[in-house]
């Protein structure tokens, strides 16, 4: 039984006061049912948010991480620094990092290797663009991202791995994948993991869906066999909306 995992990706949003207030509300509202919850604020707000969530059920994640441990890498943040401020998770290869900032699969792979070696839990994002879906290339694109992102790592290395399937065309657009479209790709991801890392490994890996998840569509998405939670952007910035999504995941997980 995989416990659903709902993570809020706050991206470059909220002020410190807003981030702390949102974290406080979430920490004060334990979920019903079985669901894990995390928030991923901007780097500069990790510490105040960590202090706010304390030992509550809410976990802390970063939106990115660099693969080097220390040194002359201006502007970057290491796994050790994230662990030091209380992070448990790091998002890696988000579509905005790949397509806006220009991160390669090789960089994603280096970040993944550093993350698992440090004990941080990676949330590896994969997903196709609209034109790739239209061209019938969704599975090929996602498999390619998985293969390159996870290259050189074993099932043991990846015991803490979470995958987020986020079709690029659904992120921040209000255009969600249908539950069937999500399930089809999640099923393919799990099969690919089974072929490459073994069936037992594939069975326990959590695969989140991301891309315009809202309180209105969360329950239908979570009801899919291979959808184990959500990576939520816009809807995670409003406490009431995010709590409803957490609730839908908790009900699906019980």
Element (H, E) at 239: helix 239-253
Counting Cα atoms < 13 Å in the Cβ hemisphere of 119 gives 7
Q: Which of 233, 246, 249, 250 binds ligand PGA (CB under 6 A)?
A: 233
How remote is the C-alpha of 170 from its chain's centroid? 15
User: C-beta of 246: minimal distance to ligand PGA in Å?
Assistant: 14
Q: Which of 149, 210, 229, 253 binds ligand PGA (CB under 6 A)?
A: 210
166 is catalytic: yes
User: What Å distances lie between residue 203 and 3, 46, 248, CA to CA?
Assistant: 12, 32, 22
Nearest of 100, 119, 122, 96 to residue 111 by alpha carbon: 122
Is position 172 an interface residue for ligand PGA (rule: CB under 6 A)? yes
How far is 163 from 207, CA to CA, in rounded Å? 5
Mask for 1-30, x = binds ligand PGA (CB under 6 A): --------x---------------------
Catalytic residue among 36, 94, 96, 103: 94
Q: What is the DSSP string of 115-138?
A: HHHHTPEEEEEE---HHHHHTT-H
Indicate the residue among 171 and 227 with the shorter CB distance to ligand PGA.
171
Residue closest to ligand PGA, measured at CB: 233
Query: Which span (76-84, 116-124, 187-195, 205-213) binds ligand PGA, by CB under 6 A?
Result: 205-213
DSSP single-letter state for residue 210: E
Is position 171 an interface residue for ligand PGA (rule: CB under 6 A)? yes
Among left, alpha and beta (phi > 0; psi -120 to 50; other), residue 68 is beta
How far is 181 from 119, CA to CA, in rounded Å? 33
Catalytic residue among 36, 128, 166, 241: 166
User: C-beta of 175: minimal distance to ligand PGA in Å?
Assistant: 9
Is position 166 an interface residue for ligand PGA (rule: CB under 6 A)? yes
Indicate the residue among 78 and 217 with the shorter CB distance to ligand PGA.
217
Positions touching ligand PGA (CB under 6 A) are: 9, 166, 171-172, 210-213, 231-235
């Amino acid at each position: 039984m995989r416990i659903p995992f709902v993570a809020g990706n706050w991206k470059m949003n909220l002020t410190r006061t807003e981030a702390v207030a949102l974290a406080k509300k979430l920490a004060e509202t334990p979920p019903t049912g079985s669901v894990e919850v995390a928030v991923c604020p901007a780097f500069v707000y990790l510490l105040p948010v960590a202090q706010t969530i304390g030992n509550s059920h809410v976990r802390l994640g970063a939106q990115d991480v660099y693969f080097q441990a220390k040194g002359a890498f201006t502007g970057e943040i290491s796994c050790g620094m994230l662990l030091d401020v209380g992070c448990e998770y790091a998002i890696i290869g988000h579509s905005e990092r790949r397509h806006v900032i220009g991160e390669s699969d090789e960089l994603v792979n280096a970040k993944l290797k550093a993350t698992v070696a440090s004990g941080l839990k990676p949330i590896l994002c994969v997903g196709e663009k609209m034109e790739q879906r239209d061209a019938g290339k969704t599975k090929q694109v996602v498999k390619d991202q998985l293969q390159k992102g996870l290259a050189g790592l074993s099932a043991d290395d990846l015991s803490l791995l979470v995958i987020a399937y986020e079709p690029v065309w659904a992120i921040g657009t209000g255009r969600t994948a249908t539950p069937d479209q999500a399930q089809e790709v999640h099923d393919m991801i799990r099969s690919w993991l089974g072929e490459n890392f073994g069936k037992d490994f594939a069975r326990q890996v959590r695969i989140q869906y991301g891309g315009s998840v809202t309180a209105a569509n969360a329950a239908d998405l979570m009801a899919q066999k291979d959808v184990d939670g959500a990576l939520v952007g816009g809807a995670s910035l409003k406490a009431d909306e995010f709590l409803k999504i957490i609730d839908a995941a908790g009900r699906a997980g019980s």
